[in-house]
């Protein structure tokens, strides 16, 4: 059986690896850095950046000849801001470079394609992805201590499951 990987490429995304029925989920490695200026409350402004070396290390540690990566094919969305669209595209590009460097088989799928196949309604958000993923994988770590959905984990798990069952 091959190793299937699902990736939600955003800053709050995640990587899911399914290997012989064992599910392992990693949050996309990022770091908060200081921006210039202060918030109205007087705190330093921060922004998140991708940690490319750690992103590569996740896949490199699990990369085998029979690994196949499925990643959400992202595109600019009119109602999102320019910064949000830029970071989504940046993550997508970093992951693509890692796949090429490691020689991994990869498939890019639209959100509409994997969400429909996984039984999510049109327009489903991250929270609904987590609930659906929890139905399929009850032991998966998808929610925080207060019950909130961990952004990207449900999506990456459903993308991996799409790859495992539909391709």
Per-residue pLDDT of the chain (167 residues), as tens digits, is: 589 999 999 988 999 999 998 999 999 999 988 776 555 565 667 888 899 999 999 999 987 778 999 999 975 555 655 455 456 678 999 999 999 999 999 999 999 999 999 999 988 888 899 999 999 999 998 877 666 677 789 999 999 999 999 87
* Paired tokens of 89: 């595209």
Q: How many CB atoms lie under 10 A from the CB of residue 167?
A: 11
Label the pairing between strands 30-38 and 22-27.
unpaired
The pLDDT, as a whole number, for residue 94 is 95
> What pTM did the predictor assign?
0.86
How far apart (Å, rounded) are the C-alpha atoms in residues 48 and 55?
A: 14
Return the CATH superfamily for domain 3-166.
Ribonuclease H-like superfamily/Ribonuclease H (3.30.420.10)
Q: Nearest Cα to 143, choosing from 134, 135, 162?
A: 134
Q: Strands (DSSP E) along 30-166, which ranges?
A: 30-38, 44-50, 67-72, 105-109
The pLDDT, as a whole number, for residue 42 is 59
The pLDDT, as a whole number, for residue 127 is 86
The pLDDT, as a whole number, for residue 55 is 96
Torsion, CA 74, CA 78, CA 84, CA 86, rounded to 10: 60
The pLDDT, as a whole number, for residue 35 is 74
How far apart (Å, rounded) are the C-alpha atoms in residues 68 and 131?
A: 25
How far apart (Å, rounded) are the C-alpha atoms in residues 13 and 160?
A: 13
């Amino acid at each position: 059986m091959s190793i299937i990987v699902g990736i939600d490429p955003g800053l709050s995304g995640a990587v899911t690896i399914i290997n012989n029925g064992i599910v392992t989920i990693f949050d996309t490695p990022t770091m908060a850095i200081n921006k210039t200026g202060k918030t109205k409350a007087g705190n330093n402004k921060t922004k998140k950046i991708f940690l490319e070396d750690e992103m590569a290390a996740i896949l490199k540690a699990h990369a085998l000849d029979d690994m196949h990566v499925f990643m959400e094919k992202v595109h600019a969305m009119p109602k999102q801001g320019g910064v949000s669209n830029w970071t989504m595209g940046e993550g997508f590009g970093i992951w693509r470079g890692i796949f090429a460097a490691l020689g991994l088989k990869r498939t890019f799928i639209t959100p509409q394609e994997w969400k429909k196949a996984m039984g999510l309604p049109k327009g489903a958000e991250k929270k609904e992805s987590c609930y659906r993923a929890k139905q399929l994988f009850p032991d998966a770590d998808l929610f925080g201590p207060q019950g909130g959905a961990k952004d990207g984990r449900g999506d990456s798990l459903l993308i991996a499951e799409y790859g495992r069952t539909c391709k």
